[in-house]
Structure 1
């Protein structure tokens, strides 16, 4: 980062804080923060549901970050990428197919298969969105967002090894209320939101909310001036019905969904990494690298699958029906039932070679998810000295995905076309999975003294994943199918093992990725083509134990030790051998954490801190293996041992009701202890011990300030600014070093697979009515137009990166009735 840029950041911060400091002696109006102030200049209580019941945040012996409704609107937080930018320790990465990947405190799973569970689970009012693709457009009309850090397996399931993100939707109100907002921003972005809420009868109330977004493409083509990509066109809606027939029974039905007709992001070409040495097509070898500008990219205007359709596109939708039923049972407790059904369809194309040529891209990405979950639990609330939660849950998900790849301008196409007369050009891989999970859990808290609480929880999970995969060639004259049949005969030593390729049949060869090669499916001959069928059946016991101590009011000390698991999974990759589709085993994290929460200086200062150590076993990783014919191909594997050490500090000061400063810092030191594999350049048997884990920046900092000032009796002005910083990290294991296989890279690119450090500055300034009925403000994100990127991926011969959004700015008007 240049000295000029750092100086600019410092100047903006000094100006904002200086203005606020001069205003401290002036009379304030209503508090600008989301939590209501108890008295002028004090920090109000924030209520969260981290333990599946309502508690004050400062009474929860866990590390929890909370974003309130006003923050979400004023800072234009509408996606998990925005959430990640606002929460230190939480990182967002875009997969090559556009699905989000989250990493929390260094725990994450970079895997783009539709059926892969994340390490950071996402919920709407405790109802799970089990797969990352489902979570893309649900951050609207919310009361708050809770980010629970660390393994949450005992209460939130086996896949929450990194943590859990819980969207708390705004609920129906007892009186008639309505509100709307309209924003206009750069790239002709228009965002409209609105809601209406109130009672329908004495026992039934409803809230209807909606949101739409549209924007022109923000990326420009480096080969076709005037061509744009990256448009947004999203529609989101939610209806919540609350029914309370009696004081002991409550029902909440949440019907929500979204439709995305936008375009997938294009990549930036930064390095040449040939797979077949000496056979890179001249058009690719001589192609210019993408300028290191956040808006620069390139993409194909057509593909083999869509001859008249540009490759980057999206036509996806999701809808969810979730019913929460609660019954108070005498003096025993409350019985809660959570029933949840989610339906998702994906129809998209992604161009991640950053070229107008069809080098290596995914023009076909079709998929679907049908997921049903049911939880039943009994709890006795928070008033007793002994508090319990006991229950069980069930999940059944059916996931289908078809990935069609095009390799027209790869070295494989040129080599196999020239030498064998079979240019390897297109394949389609189709996977079908049925995932079934059963779990039973219990959680206890007991106050052995008024200020000393013991905690413990346990969950048993039994999971089963039934998997089927077939790779086919769907384009005549079936070059890929004929080529793979040729190699089946050649490698097996049996020229009659298979005949000419028959359209629609599976071409993947029955052989392992290990040496010596062995048959994976004993019912088929070695190297015979066929369908991959497999089942993964696992179980585990997650647990947590801890202690909370309050030495005096306003001070909480806590210590926790927990073990969490993330389920194993099968990949959806385009491959040539059965061994590529071996499942990755379940991973586990043993976590040690201690922390404090302190409310000081007459409730004007809040200090939180936590230190943690994660002992990681069998971390799941998408990596490479060396195919003897085609070079590097994707595979998922386990890293036997790794660890993460870190700490985080947070401070919030409210010297007056109209001025607040918040600051947070997270430190992570991640290390692989034992793993030998293939590096990003195809070098085998590399010992990665001592290298860092991908997507784990060592330093993350966030500082924000908000100020509000009366402007007469009926108006108030407000201003806010935030600075977030993330140090460098890597996108692949061993990414701190550029592989020897890279023969050329763009000027200014150092470590090809590195993700550079960056700082972003956001801000808002506006006016509002004194009674908060309306507000109008100007906002900006990435005000200084920092160039940063969140991922680096290798295709076939090319290495590309996905850049973050450039500077965006706009104006918003919001009103409530």
Structure 2
């Protein structure tokens, strides 16, 4: 580890300790056909086991030739059971009647999952878009998502870290280190979780303090001088107290260049520390304390010009910067006036200067047949992010975010604690208070002749009461019933949007914008059945309803009416599936679903005659639907060889009259034009596909592992907002690695390649103002070595 990394880790650890106390159906046939094609891989779980007793007895009961002895002693491949807590109790993933994908810590490394955005390359029906290439992730699961570059609205996908729910998508970066597993739950959630969602939930479960001393460190060096480090130390402090301290740092790695100056862009500069304590106060009362802190001073990704950058005045249409032909080229530039206004250097590169920290306390108390759980948490984020959305040295759309997020959550749960009972249940209450102070600066000097500021405060109070029960009607048939009631108030205050200089502020409109408030009351629930057709085959069918609260469009605006809140959305999901271990080495899981969407929250845009540009606004589509399926296969044909894969398919459309802004026609006409979008396809990729193949073997005491994984992402057309010129084309990604573990098992050497075939691809395409079309491109091929040591 570099000396800079060591100093950074110890400084963060000291900060965490000192500040912790202060922190407050055609689809069914299609899925069967797809399942039949599952002969390539997703996530490797399996290892080897000893021969079954019957084999061993047979081998010892009869004289064996040399060949037969070798056959009898050969290890037999067997699938590994994966334990999850998706339903608030420990279960095998194969016993949970829901579509759940599980990625282990090893899977995350193999599949190049370094942040939440990378999850889209590792599991079916998941997409995570970077807003204009920045740090704001935009989640979709099964096509259910919310696209917004501002930070004030909740996501359709919930993110939990060790049962602590995060309110805003921007808070989820920097969580993936020292991870035991990630659970991706598809479909509405709410009857088991603190936060209600329509799309699904992603649970990050970290490694916990251990009963025996453990320690390890991993160092990774790769292309562009990328330098990553992770480490941990864990073990008992006393007979009743255990602790764990983990850290992560990342440096360098710039892979983009300024097309005009040759300056590099893309360096990492992050560090994070997480400390945990487990205390067994009594046999029945246990506490878990967690504190974390970190910073991110990395470069932002630069955007690529997919069309020539043209002038809109003084020679309208004149090409100022040609479209990029070099895949890694980008551009940026700050005017001295804008740099002074936001308080950064005129020489600054697009990048972040974020600080985050938090603390949580989980208490569990066993009362025999009942268990009580309390989870109290506080999280803080200060986001400072400069982005150049025009990708040139011109001041067409230079952006600077200055956000402060404070979040307090309290969850109480009571649950059954008798594994032998026919009734398993959980009930709880959840409260959160979230405050956001956002200032969003824009430099439009070369387009509109102004610099702009949008600023506001937002307070959100959420109270939810939920419960779910599973009853064993027979030894094979189980019934499920869940219910949730939620109340939320969301207040937007002190909103202002207008042109700004160091000495003045001029509102875009008058009078001043009034404070806005929206109150949401939603009921959601779940009903379902599970049937064990065979000991290793589970059939299930569920109907669940999800609910997402309303919110505000907090963009630059010239009209206070644009602040009028949009309505909540609801989604009723019909899902059926099966999970089957067809034999001891072959596993197949499949689900099909139909979503009935009401008041879907959709990003559109109005045409503003003053700025002669489109301004984003959220509207509600009265009715829409999504249909699809997923299949996952895992096969261990021989000991040491694991083949696994996933496939997901979905399609959707607006199914009722939906008259709203036609953004393309409005821009062409110079005034708002309206279109009925009934029958129009929803905007998301239809097909996702991927897999993994790994092989483990031993030679002279050395353990070897060869692995490759791949993913396919389908074409993505943002038809409603942007039009066909901003279609993201389909692409494949392939990664590979080879690992060697010497005798003794303490060292592990891995040689890896990411984007092995150097595929050029786009993550998203967009524009902020006319004459400036950009794309966020994917990282080119990188290679490197990872060295791990465990004490």
Q: Classify the TM-score, shorter chain.
A: 0.7 to 0.9
Structural mapping, 1:647-666, within 5 Å: 647-666=629-648
SS of structure 1 residue aligned to 2:106: helix
Deviation at 1:222, TM superposition (A): 1.6
Instruction: For residues 244-285 of structure 1, give each alpha carbon's deviation from its aligned partner in whole angstroms, at most 9, with x where no partner exists.
Output: 1222111111111321001111112223698xxx94354973
Q: 1:643 & 1:457 partners in 2: Cα distance?
A: 23
Q: Call closer, same or farther: CA 1:85–1:53 in 2, change over 3 Å.
A: same
Partner of 2:70: none
Q: Which moved more, 1:559-568 or 1:528-537?
A: 528-537
Q: Call closer, same or farther: CA 1:282–1:200 in 2, change over 3 Å.
A: farther
Partner of 2:528: 546
Q: 2:502 & 2:371 partners in 1: Cα distance?
A: 62
Partner of 2:466: 441
| Residues 499, 508 of structure 2: 8 Å contact kept | no
Which of 325, 332, 337 is the matching residue for 2:363? 325
Q: Which moved more, 1:609-618 or 1:631-640?
A: 631-640
| Residues 309, 323 of structure 2: 8 Å contact kept | no
Which of 135, 138, 142 is the matching residue for 2:172? 135
Partner of 1:802: 776
Instruction: For residues 200-229 of structure 1, give each alpha carbon's deviation from its aligned partner in whole angstroms, at most 9, with x where no partner exists.
Output: 0100000000010012421111222x2121
Instruction: For residues 577-629 of structure 1, give each alpha carbon's deviation from its aligned partner in whole angstroms, at most 9, with x where no partner exists.
Output: 1012121211111100000000022x100000000011111111222012232
| Residues 108, 118 of structure 1: 8 Å contact kept | yes
Q: 1:294 & 1:159 partners in 2: Cα distance?
A: 40
Q: 2:50 & 2:591 partners in 1: Cα distance?
A: 26
Q: 1:770 & 1:585 partners in 2: Cα distance?
A: 62
Instruction: For residues 649-681 of structure 1, give each alpha carbon's deviation from its aligned partner in whole angstroms, at most 9, with x where no partner exists.
Output: 111001233110001110111212242222342
Q: Call closer, same or farther: CA 1:772–1:109 in 2, change over 3 Å.
A: farther
Which of 210, 213, 219 is the matching residue for 1:182? 219
Partner of 1:640: 622
| Residues 303, 309 of structure 1: 8 Å contact kept | no
Q: 2:618 & 2:50 partners in 1: Cα distance?
A: 52
Q: Note if 1:624 corresponds to 2:605.
A: yes
Partner of 2:192: 155
Q: 1:125 & 1:34 partners in 2: Cα distance?
A: 25
Deviation at 1:113, TM superposition (A): 1.8
Q: Note if 1:428 corresponds to 2:402.
A: no
Q: 2:508 & 2:515 partners in 1: Cα distance?
A: 12
Deviation at 1:770, TM superposition (A): 5.3
Q: Note if 1:313 corresponds to 2:362.
A: no
Q: Note if 1:760 corresponds to 2:785.
A: no
Partner of 1:168: 205
Q: 2:363 & 2:769 partners in 1: Cα distance?
A: 51
SS of structure 2 residue aligned to 1:82: helix
Q: 1:426 & 1:59 partners in 2: Cα distance?
A: 57
Q: Note if 1:789 corresponds to 2:743.
A: no
Which of 209, 214, 217 is the matching residue for 2:254? 217
The alignment yields a C-alpha RMSD, in angstroms, of 2.1
Q: 1:573 & 1:726 partners in 2: Cα distance?
A: 30
Q: 2:325 & 2:475 partners in 1: Cα distance?
A: 59
Q: Call closer, same or farther: CA 1:682–1:772 in 2, change over 3 Å.
A: farther
Partner of 2:480: 455
Q: Call closer, same or farther: CA 1:549–1:758 in 2, change over 3 Å.
A: same
Which of 552, 562, 569 is the matching residue for 1:587? 569
Partner of 1:520: none
Q: Note if 1:295 corresponds to 2:328.
A: yes
Deviation at 1:231, TM superposition (A): 1.5
Structural mapping, 1:22-101, within 5 Å: 33=45, 40-96=76-132, 97-101=134-138
Instruction: For residues 77-132 of structure 1, give each alpha carbon's deviation from its aligned partner in whole angstroms, at most 9, with x where no partner exists.
Output: 22112222101111110013430111111011001221211111111111112211
| Residues 75, 764 of structure 1: 8 Å contact kept | no
| Residues 709, 717 of structure 1: 8 Å contact kept | yes
Deviation at 1:531, TM superposition (A): 3.1
| Residues 165, 194 of structure 2: 8 Å contact kept | no
Partner of 1:493: none
**Structure 1 spans left out of the alignment, 5+ residues:** 1-16, 21-30, 414-423, 478-502, 510-527, 738-750
Q: 1:118 & 1:297 partners in 2: Cα distance?
A: 30
| Residues 390, 398 of structure 2: 8 Å contact kept | yes
Partner of 2:659: 676
Q: Call closer, same or farther: CA 1:34–1:403 in 2, change over 3 Å.
A: farther
Partner of 2:245: 208
| Residues 374, 395 of structure 1: 8 Å contact kept | yes
Deviation at 1:808, TM superposition (A): 1.5
Partner of 2:519: 537
Deviation at 1:387, TM superposition (A): 0.8
Q: 2:766 & 2:702 partners in 1: Cα distance?
A: 51
Partner of 1:483: none
Q: Call closer, same or farther: CA 1:327–1:297 in 2, change over 3 Å.
A: same
Partner of 1:5: none
Structural mapping, 1:500-519, within 5 Å: 503-504=504-505, 507-509=507-509
Q: 1:563 & 1:292 partners in 2: Cα distance?
A: 47
Partner of 1:685: 674
Q: Which moved more, 1:722-731 or 1:588-597?
A: 722-731
Question: Could you state the TM-score of these two structures normalised by the residue count of structure 1?
Answer: 0.84
Deviation at 1:702, TM superposition (A): 0.5
**Structure 2 spans left out of the alignment, 5+ residues:** 1-38, 52-75, 341-345, 667-672
Deviation at 1:687, TM superposition (A): 2.4
Instruction: For residues 121-149 of structure 1, give each alpha carbon's deviation from its aligned partner in whole angstroms, at most 9, with x where no partner exists.
Output: 11111111221111110100011010011
Q: 1:211 & 1:36 partners in 2: Cα distance?
A: 32
Which of 448, 468, 471 is the matching residue for 2:497? 471
SS of structure 2 residue aligned to 1:325: strand
Deviation at 1:716, TM superposition (A): 1.4
| Residues 545, 571 of structure 2: 8 Å contact kept | yes
Partner of 1:733: 720
Partner of 1:811: 785
| Residues 308, 322 of structure 2: 8 Å contact kept | no
Q: 1:35 & 1:339 partners in 2: Cα distance?
A: 38
Q: 2:313 & 2:221 partners in 1: Cα distance?
A: 45
Partner of 1:390: 427
| Residues 47, 640 of structure 2: 8 Å contact kept | no
Q: 2:316 & 2:233 partners in 1: Cα distance?
A: 57
Q: 2:706 & 2:520 partners in 1: Cα distance?
A: 53
Which of 723, 741, 746 is the matching residue for 2:710? 723
Q: Note if 1:557 corresponds to 2:569.
A: no
Which of 694, 698, 702 is the matching residue for 1:710? 698
SS of structure 2 residue aligned to 1:134: helix
Q: Call closer, same or farther: CA 1:304–1:678 in 2, change over 3 Å.
A: farther
Q: How many residues align?
A: 711
Deviation at 1:33, TM superposition (A): 3.1
Q: Which moved more, 1:288-297 or 1:116-125?
A: 288-297
Q: Which moved more, 1:369-378 or 1:80-89?
A: 80-89
Q: Call closer, same or farther: CA 1:283–1:775 in 2, change over 3 Å.
A: farther
SS of structure 1 residue aligned to 2:622: strand
Q: Call closer, same or farther: CA 1:306–1:34 in 2, change over 3 Å.
A: farther
SS of structure 2 residue aligned to 1:217: coil
Structural mapping, 1:483-522, within 5 Å: 503-504=504-505, 507-509=507-509
Q: Call closer, same or farther: CA 1:294–1:449 in 2, change over 3 Å.
A: farther
Partner of 1:419: none
| Residues 240, 280 of structure 2: 8 Å contact kept | yes
